Chains A and B, each alone.
Chain A
């Protein structure tokens, strides 16, 4: 694993959510292992573009609603290429609609987490999810 390359990719256009998430990661010393992308296009460029990464991330936390390339298109792109097909993708969405959940799994998502609004410890659920994918889940290299 090359140094400096992130293990967890967070794809989120909402800066509030990004701030909350990064704060939570920082509090649990995970921030170093996370890199944030503003939309699907950035993510796909990072994963499959000219100047692509050399090591696949352990997981991608992917928001659904984003400008430009949204979560679904990004997921399709990831699953369409052999280099990225095996990367676990966790959908993080404020929608809990049955149809959205079903569609995402059909597109190849590995998990679906609903953005939680708790009056205590904001973003803590992301930390929980990240711990699982970073430290417990075995990935294919």
Chain B
């Protein structure tokens, strides 16, 4: 391909097709014009030929008449002088033979008066014309003359022709005057009429004869001079008839050539243009194809890239998760071993302080004994806290074993246990209707035990503890509630209740690990539930926890809280 430089986008190149179109149109026009020119040329030449021929013919008709007149004049001069009867007979024959001649006047000095011959019309014409003819005759000196056209009153135009017989120069002239109608002469003389041509003969600006059409088409008429042997020349004008023009117009060669040429040029231009378009389209398609192929390759590449990134991400997430799990396990292990390993030295402190107090009771004074007591006490508290931490730690690792739990029965058991554990509290418990739950029974036992014993322990000193336990089920969850009428707490610290080692009451007054509620919260959350509390200082506390409505499916989902 040589025109690779051509722009692929934008308007197609129209130069070539337009050039072809223009050249074609020009050629068609030229051919058409040429044809037309030749046609017109033919017409013109034909006209001219016809004009010439007709002029010659008309001329010869007129000259024939003049010659006939001359011969008759000579004949009559030689043979018939004085014999008027013979002259008239001969004149009638002549008039009969030449119908264009309207009348004859024989003038001879030997005659008393000029003799006339002709029809009554001819006589009338002669009367009209003769005076004028006489003037003309006198004006002319030759052997003959012709004057005309002379316009008659009835509109006809006639010619007067005189032939003189001059035997002697000074003789009184003898002459034959004839008046003829050129229309009649030409009408007969120019037959048969050619239907293609109209013609008009005029003399001295006056039309003598017209055939067919009223007027010629402008520029198409042709004139030819007609020179009779006597008188002024006539003019013959020829033009094509409407029929001929129509026939001429029907010659559709130029039009056909023009139309055909135009069609051919349009066709050629279209073919070239369509070809160019097709090539252009093909190139565009090729380019688009290449682009598409590239895009497909790009897409493949980015797909691969995406997959690689996704794999990478997955791998990273996996690594992170593994790392996190490892960290969690490490933390639990750390928590466990710290609690566990610290017990030994702590135990030693507690033990030896106690031993010191017992074995050397006699030696130690009361203050020393009290200090030793404090050491033992603190170590015991520390050990208790470690036990709490251990319990909290293991509550996170413990697996969840969900079953249908009859909460009412469970709470009754726990309440009995709590009452047995702290008989001195004389705790009064009111257990309402408790909907069953789908939960880990062991954990639920811990939860209830913790909440109920707390409710009993944090009683007001002035009245025995009273605990109300109730529950309620909705479509999405079951909610349980443990209400006491004890010391209550400040709602500002409500969220601290469920944290490890947070105490809202001083450690002196109440015992415990300080992790019970934290473990409760952890266990409830591991079930997908919530735990919260309401209360006021001195007005009792209410602890709530909710569990998702019991569906028979595993809702732990490996969650670790």
- CB within 8 Å of B: which residues of A? 14, 16-17, 19-20, 23, 94-97, 115, 117-123
Contacts and interface: CB of A to CB of B under 8 A. Distances in A.
Given A14-B344, A16-B344, A117-B379, 15 more contacts: A14-B348, A16-B348, A16-B351, A17-B348, A20-B355, A94-B344, A95-B340, A115-B347, A117-B343, A117-B346, A118-B354, A119-B350, A119-B376, A119-B377, A122-B355
Nearest to B394: A97
Contacts of B350: 117, 119, 122
B372 to A, nearest CB: 10
Contact of B340 (A94, A117, A122, A123): A94
B176 interface: no
Nearest to A16: B348
B383 interface: yes
A118 B379 CA distance: 10
15 contacts: A14-B348, A16-B345, A16-B348, A94-B343, A97-B336, A117-B350, A117-B351, A117-B379, A118-B354, A119-B354, A119-B377, A119-B380, A120-B354, A121-B358, A122-B354
Interface string B329-364: 000000010001001111110111011001100000
Chain B's interface size range is 20 to 34
Interface in B22-63: none
Nearest to B384: A117
Contact of A20 (B336, B351, B390): B351
A94 B344 CA distance: 8
A62 to B, nearest CB: 16
Contacts of B345: 16
Contact of A23 (B348, B355, B394): B355
Contacts of B379: 117, 119
Interface of B: 336, 340, 343-348, 350-352, 354-355, 358-359, 376-377, 379-380, 383, 390, 394
A102 to B, nearest CB: 14
A16 B346 CA distance: 11
- Greatest chain B CB density within 10 A among A23, A95, A117 is at A117
Contact of B343 (A20, A115, A119, A120): A115
A98 B30 CA distance: 118
- Greatest chain B CB density within 10 A among A17, A118, A121, A122 is at A122
Nearest 6 interchain pairs by C-beta: A122-B351, A16-B348, A119-B376, A117-B383, A20-B351, A117-B347
A69 to B, nearest CB: 19
Nearest to A116: B347
A95 B358 CA distance: 27
B347 A123 contact: no
Nearest to A96: B390
Contacts of B352: 16, 19-20, 122
- Greatest chain A CB density within 10 A among B354, B358, B376 is at B354
Contacts of A94: 340, 343-344, 347
Given A16-B347, A16-B348, A97-B394, A117 B380 contact: yes
Nearest to A20: B351
A94 B346 CA distance: 12
Nearest to A115: B347
Contacts of B358: 121
Contacts of B346: 117
Contacts of A23: 355, 359
B340 to A, nearest CB: 6
A100 to B, nearest CB: 10
A23 B356 CA distance: 12
A105 B390 CA distance: 22
Nearest to B348: A16
Contacts of B377: 119
Nearest to B377: A119
Contacts of A122: 350-352, 354-355
A14 B376 CA distance: 20
A121 B344 contact: no
A117 B351 CA distance: 7
Nearest to A14: B344
Nearest to A122: B351
Contacts of B376: 119
A93 to B, nearest CB: 9
A117 B343 CA distance: 9
A121 to B, nearest CB: 7
A123 B352 CA distance: 11
Contacts of B390: 96
A14 B394 CA distance: 26
Contact of B354 (A16, A19, A95, A121): A121
A17 B377 CA distance: 19
A53 to B, nearest CB: 29
B380 to A, nearest CB: 5
A123 B344 contact: no
Contacts of A95: 340
A120 B354 CA distance: 6
Nearest to B376: A119
